[in-house]
């Protein structure tokens, strides 16, 4: 399978090159050259297939013959080593829980898939890749865990000092082996800027730097799996399905739309956002006005210029009218989010963390227009990951899951840096 750069359709690379490069040399995002719908019989019998079998069918055309079937099946099995329950919250409203993986963040799936693809490509070679990633909290832990012990890959994670929670910091700093955490004296944007500068630095070319956020196709594409799992769980009700994704960089929802292109019968998508409302404003007035990000309680979605939105526009050939038929976007304040968390909890007993609650709000708004549909919102993190918000808002004490308990007692090991030069020196030595 070939991928083209969204900055220039004549720039084409293989799956392997796209994974290793992350971003195209012209700074464009890669996009698959062909999207072939899956067969009707696949959808007719999906409830008889395991998650692994579904995922293999979904991903295989995007990898092509670059990873042999038997190895790709192994990668998929290792990626999906946990459950994706679709939990009934209230009548016709379901939560698809994506947080049962090793770091309790939905980004575990993409990180595990990407790391194993890189490991396959490096097998038997002297090649070494360095994965460089800036995190505001959740991504770093999933990448650290997903890449732990993967041969031929060094992982360097930059995080802003004092700006991530204690649990998140421990998930980044306690693993050792091929994972190094750099504590940056600054905010998330400073970490991000340093990472971008490193990618452009010709002195570092020999380090084979790559990114592990959703611009990388190997992190983005496997997120399609969730939408197939939701369909498998709810198909029996024989009603049209609406999915609401709490959205930041729009990687997840973009994967959902790609799943629809493969024939998955989802009726409508909602991109639910916090105060970072660039896309909902665009749908209102047709003007895409990227803004600096605003800090909110659903901080993994504090993105003012969502990088994957351009991929969504590509799938609709930039036709806003066609796009609006399948897609809505709504923005919610922190106050609305907190009161949704309280309402869900007092009405149903379900504990939603702030990102899931934003997804819920978007779903409820859209369901008003489609009363005959079933709605699904994605719950993208375990409440414990955002306990600083969940506990005071719901006035409860959360139990600590075993995945989290295992990092709490470990010693944090990190290197402090405060300039790009220090990052560069670190990478070179």
Ligand X SMILES: *Cc1c(COP(=O)(O)O)cnc(C)c1O
Q: Does 269 bind ligand X (CB under 6 A)?
A: no
- Rounded to a whole number of angstroms, the CA Rg of the chain reads 20
Element containing residue 138 per DSSP (H, E): helix 138-147
Which parts of 164-223 interact with ligand X (CB under 6 A)?
A: 214
Which listed residue (252, 278, 280, 329) binds ligand X by CB under 6 A? 252
Q: Does 380 bind ligand X (CB under 6 A)?
A: yes
What's the min distance (Å) between Cβ of 293 and ligand X?
Answer: 12
Q: Does 146 bind ligand X (CB under 6 A)?
A: no
Q: Does 32 bind ligand X (CB under 6 A)?
A: no
What is residue 415's three-state secondary structure?
strand
Total residues in contact with ligand X, by rule CB under 6 A: 16
Q: Count Cα atoms within 13 angstroms, Cβ side, for 396.
A: 18
Which one, 92 or 249, has the nearer CB to ligand X? Answer: 249
Q: Please, which contacts does 311-315 make with residues 24 or more away whose CB atoms are closer than 8 Å?
A: 311/6, 311/29, 311/31, 311/220, 311/254, 312/250, 312/253, 312/254, 312/257, 314/6, 314/31, 315/254, 315/257, 315/258, 315/261
What's the min distance (Å) between Cβ of 392 and ligand X?
Answer: 19
What's the min distance (Å) between Cβ of 76 and ligand X?
Answer: 20
Which listed residue (3, 250, 330, 345) binds ligand X by CB under 6 A? 250
Q: Considering only the stretches 57-65, 115-123, 248-256, 390-398, report the one whose residues sit in contact with ligand X under the rule CB under 6 A.
A: 248-256
Q: Considering only the stretches 86-94, 249-257, 282-290, 394-402, report the one whose residues sit in contact with ligand X under the rule CB under 6 A.
A: 249-257
Q: Does 63 bind ligand X (CB under 6 A)?
A: no
**Residues 105-144 as b or e (16 or more Cβ within 10 Å = b):** bbbbbbbbbbbbbbbbbbeeeeeebbbbbbbbbbbbbbbb
Q: Does 67 bind ligand X (CB under 6 A)?
A: no
Which one, 107 or 232, has the nearer CB to ligand X? Answer: 107
Nearest-CA neighbor of 170 among 400, 357, 354, 351?
A: 400
Q: Does 246 bind ligand X (CB under 6 A)?
A: yes
CA distance 195 to 198: 5
Q: How far is CA 343 from CA 89, 90, 329, 352, 410, in A?
A: 12, 12, 22, 10, 37
What's the min distance (Å) between Cβ of 165 and ligand X?
Answer: 12
Q: Does 107 bind ligand X (CB under 6 A)?
A: yes
- Per-residue tokens: 165: 């929670």
Which listed residue (192, 247, 276, 293) binds ligand X by CB under 6 A? 247
Lay out the site mask for ligand X across 283-312 (x = CB under 6 A, - = otherwise): -----------------xx-----------
Which parts of 109-138 interact with ligand X (CB under 6 A)?
A: 138
Cβ atoms of 315 and 336 within 8 Å: the answer is: no
CA distance 226 to 255: 9
CA distance 418 to 270: 39
Query: If you search the block for the tokens 């505001």, which residue do you land on?
Result: 136
What's the min distance (Å) between Cβ of 351 and ligand X?
Answer: 14
Which listed residue (163, 260, 355, 364) binds ligand X by CB under 6 A? 355
What's the min distance (Å) between Cβ of 254 and ligand X?
Answer: 7
CA distance 142 to 302: 18
Q: Which residues are catalytic?
A: 107
What's the min distance (Å) between Cβ of 383 and ligand X?
Answer: 11
Q: Does 225 bind ligand X (CB under 6 A)?
A: no
Which listed residue (22, 141, 186, 248) binds ligand X by CB under 6 A? 248
Report the interface residues with ligand X, using CB under 6 A. Answer: 105, 107, 138, 214, 246-252, 300-301, 355, 380-381
């Amino acid at each position: 399978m070939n991928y083209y750069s969204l900055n220039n359709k004549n720039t084409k690379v293989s799956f392997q090159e796209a994974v290793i490069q992350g971003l195209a040399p012209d700074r464009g995002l890669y996009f698959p050259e062909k999207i072939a719908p899956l067969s009707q019989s696949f959808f007719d019998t999906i409830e008889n297939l395991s998650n692994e079998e579904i995922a293999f069918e979904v991903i295989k055309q995007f990898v092509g013959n670059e990873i042999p079937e038997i190895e790709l099946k192994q990668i998929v099995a290792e990626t999906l080593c946990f459950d994706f329950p679709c939990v009934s919250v209230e009548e016709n409203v379901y939560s698809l829980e994506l947080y049962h993986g090793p770091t309790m963040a939905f980004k575990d799936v993409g990180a595990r898939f990407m790391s194993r693809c890189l490991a396959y490509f490096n097998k038997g070679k002297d090649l070494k890749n360095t994965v460089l990633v800036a995190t505001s909290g959740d991504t770093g832990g999933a990448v650290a865990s997903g890449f732990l012990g993967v041969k031929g890959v060094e992982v360097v994670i930059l995080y802003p000092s004092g700006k991530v929670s204690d649990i998140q910091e421990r998930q980044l700093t306690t693993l050792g082996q091929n994972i190094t955490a750099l504590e940056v004296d600054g905010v998330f944007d400073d970490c991000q800027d340093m990472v971008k500068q490193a990618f452009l630095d010709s002195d570092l070319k020999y380090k084979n730097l790559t990114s592990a956020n959703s611009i990388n196709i190997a992190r983005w594409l496997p997120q399609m799996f969730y939408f197939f799992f939701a369909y498998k769980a709810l198909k029996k009700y024989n009603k049209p399905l609406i999915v609401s994704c709490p959205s930041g960089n729009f990687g997840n929802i973009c994967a959902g739309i790609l799943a629809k292109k493969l024939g998955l019968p989802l009726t409508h998508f909602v991109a639910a956002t916090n105060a970072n409302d660039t896309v909902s404003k665009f749908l209102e007035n047709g003007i895409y006005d990227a803004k600096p990000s605003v800090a909110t309680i659903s901080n993994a979605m504090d993105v003012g210029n969502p990088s994957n939105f351009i991929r969504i526009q590509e799938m609709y050939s930039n036709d806003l009218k066609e796009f609006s038929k399948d897609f809505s976007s709504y923005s919610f304040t922190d106050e609305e989010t907190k009161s949704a968390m309280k309402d869900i909890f007092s009405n149903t007993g379900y504990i939603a963390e702030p990102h899931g609650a934003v997804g819920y709000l978007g779903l409820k708004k859209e369901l008003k227009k489609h009363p005959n549909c079933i709605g699904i919102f994605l719950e993208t993190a375990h409440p414990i990951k955002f306990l600083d918000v969940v506990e005071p808002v719901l006035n409860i004490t959360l139990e600590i899951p075993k995945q989290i308990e295992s990092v709490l007692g470990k010693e944090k090991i990190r290197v402090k840096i405060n300039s790009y030069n220090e990052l560069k020196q670190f990478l070179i030595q």
